[in-house]
Structure 1
Amino acid sequence: MSDRDDIVELDALDRHIIYRLQHDARKTSASTIAEEMDVAASTVRNRINRLEERGVIKGYNLDVDYERAGFQLHTLIICNAEIPEREQLAREALEIDGVVDVQEVMTGSENIHVEVVGSDGDDLSRIGQELDALGLQVVDEDIIRNEYVHPYEGFAPEK
């Protein structure tokens, strides 16, 4: 059985916790969520721990302004991988210096999306060559200007 087959049933409190943490995990306290849901802060902390242990909450991502940090080239590299090798190649791509995110796409030929950062064109060339050496075919490269995220509305509280 894979991790995806082990479905965790979420109640209203679990969904609210996830929604609030997706919105801004850094500035959202267990106490704030507890007040909103009329439960004890310890209940919220226990639920967060359980959601983490069960793999529903897999981590907390930092939103970095790469340009301000001196990495002018924040780029999305679209690759193609043979289906039987796709997952392994995606995991290996994540190990390349400068790669910050890899997504496996289930449909189409452009089935690996690799987000990279670099300070100059040489960085991007090196990363492209390393992706090619892994066996990924680079199909396209797009410079990312901004990225916007939003919590999944399916976890939003009932209105």
Structure 2
Amino acid sequence: MELDQIDFQILRLLNENSRIQWKDLGEKIHMTGQAVGNRIRKLEESGVIKAYSLIVDEMKLGLMFTAFVIIHMKTANHDLFIRFIKERNEVVEAHRISGKGCYHLKVIVKSQDQLNLFLNKLLEHGNYSLNLSIQEIKQQNPLTATIQ
């Protein structure tokens, strides 16, 4: 599916507020709600829109520790490690990286004890370096940066 400027406007507005009514979205881009709805359905059916998401303030939930972990694998076979991180709820993001280390994880835990338990299990797969977040400065959906 080839996207035009209107599709990009719709995606930008949905990214700002995915719960916006089609009628209200249409008013912002000078289209009817029905026409906007048709375009949104096409974007969903073609896979351009894969899902709608929710951003939660972890601090208000009492999730106190955000840690960034760089993993240096012990082995070239990473299958067990990948299975391990996919099963761990405290791992909210995982990226295979180039440069220093093999993987970069974003981990959110409720306590220092929970973090230590996770890190001890992580040692089965490789060594790590750890950085704790002391303040979140910016959180942005990647779409916001690319759709303008």
TM-score tier after normalising by the smaller chain length: 0.7 to 0.9
Segments of structure 1 that go 5 or more residues without pairing to the other structure are 1-7
2:63 aligned counterpart, secondary structure: coil
Q: 1:154 to 1:101 in 2, by over 3 A?
A: closer
Contact 1:72 1:119 in 2 (8 A): yes
Instruction: Give aligned pairs, total.
Output: 146
Matches within 5 A, 1:98-117: 98-105=90-97, 107-117=98-108
AA paired with 2:122? Answer: L
TM-score w.r.t. length of structure 1? 0.72
1:71 aligned counterpart, secondary structure: coil
Q: Among residues 4, 10, 15, which one is paired with 2:3 in the alignment?
A: 10
Deviation for aligned residue 1:15: 0.7
After TM superposition, the runs of 4+ consecutive aligned structure 1 residues lying more than 6 A away are none
Matches within 5 A, 1:53-132: 53-81=45-73, 89-90=81-82, 92-105=84-97, 107-132=98-123
In percent, how many aligned pairs have the same letter? 25
Root mean square deviation, CA, Å = 2.9
Deviation per CA, 1:13-56, whole angstroms, max 9, x where unpaired? Answer: 21111111222323x22222211222222222232233233332
CA radius of gyration, larger in: 2
TM-score w.r.t. length of structure 2? 0.76
Deviation for aligned residue 1:76: 1.9
